[in-house]
Amino acid sequence: MDNNRKKQHTDLEVVQEGFANGVAPGFPLFELEKTEMIEAAADAYGKFLTALKCDWKNDPNSADTPKRVAKAYVNDLWAGRYTAMSEITSFPSDGYDGVVIERNIPLTSMCSHHHQTIQGVVHIGYVVGEEGRVIGLSKLNRIVELFGRRGAIQEQLTSAIHNAVDKICENNKGVVVTIVGTHNCVSCRGVKHNGASMVTTKASGVFRDNTSLARQEFFDSIKINNGTHAI
């Protein structure tokens, strides 16, 4: 394929973009390094349980819990920190200069404050500029997965996703990212309220203009406050 038709953005570029927004940088690990990390984390978590007066070693349901928790962090909850991301591919827009919107991208993340999960959806929109580029559709999902599986507060996560899309969609006229998330740290501790959700948005370019048709189209599409959601 002609190199001008297809452009690949390396994992390093996206990782650095996330790091600049306070989200932990990715460190791709070899399998041996993962195994060693899991063993060290399991040992530390066992000591954590012991400090809480939990007799986990003599409980058949908890005896393997330190290792289970360590594996969950390395392989799932924080996988974005330790797994290399596939290349992000963009293509020329071939004259298309409208809005591109992907809605309801599933999100699972972990809040940095209490290490409780965040569940929700991400909506992403951008306007292609002259001689601009578009991202392969599934690659937006991959960007969300990469940053979500690192652990961050929702505000930082919103910025990280926005800035990655903004960088890859060269010559765009604007990018907007909205996350709607429910936080387990609200439902299971503190006020213990179920059903509350948090909405965060970062917008640039035409999406910051309250009179912009692109802004209206995006917020009408995701049905949040009819396009008047504060940013």
Give 59-111 pLDDT, tens digit per residue: 999 999 999 999 999 999 998 888 776 777 888 888 888 999 999 999 999 99
Q: Tokens in use for 187?
A: 């439902």
Q: How confident is the model at residue 136, as a pLDDT?
A: 85
CA distance 9 to 37: 29
Asked if 90 and 129 count as a contact pair (C-beta separation under 8 A), the reply is no
Can you give the CATH number for the domain in which 181 is found?
3.30.1130.10
Last residue of a domain, one of 63, 82, 101: 82
Write out the residue range of the structural domain in which residue 40 sits.
Answer: 31-82
**Distance in angstroms (rounded) separating the CA atoms of residues 146 and 169:** 17
CA angle, 35 then 17 then 146, to 5°: 45
pTM score, whole prediction: 0.85
Question: Which candidate, 106, 114, 39, places its Cα nearest to that of 74?
Answer: 39
Query: Is residue 100 domain-shared with residue 207, that is, in the same domain?
Result: yes
**pLDDT > 50? residue 17:** no
Q: How high is the mean pLDDT of the chain?
A: 85
Q: Is residue 9 part of a domain?
A: no
Averaged pLDDT for residues 167-178? 91
Assess whether pLDDT exceeds 50 at residue 228. Answer: no
- The first and second tokens of residue 108, run together, are 């699972």
Residue 20 — pLDDT band, cuts 50, 70, 90? very low
Q: Of 82, 109, 142, which residue sits at a domain end?
A: 82
**How many CA atoms lie less than 13 Å away from 167 in the CB half-sphere?**
20
What does the chain come to in residues?
A: 231
Residues in contact with 229: Cβ distance below 8 Å, sequence separation at least 6, in sequence order: 178, 199, 201, 219
The residues pairing with 198 across neighbouring beta strands, listed in sequence order, are: 181
* Residue 53 resides in a domain: yes
Q: Residue 114 in contact with residue 189, Cβ under 8 Å? A: yes
* Pairing mode, strands 117-127 and 133-135: unpaired
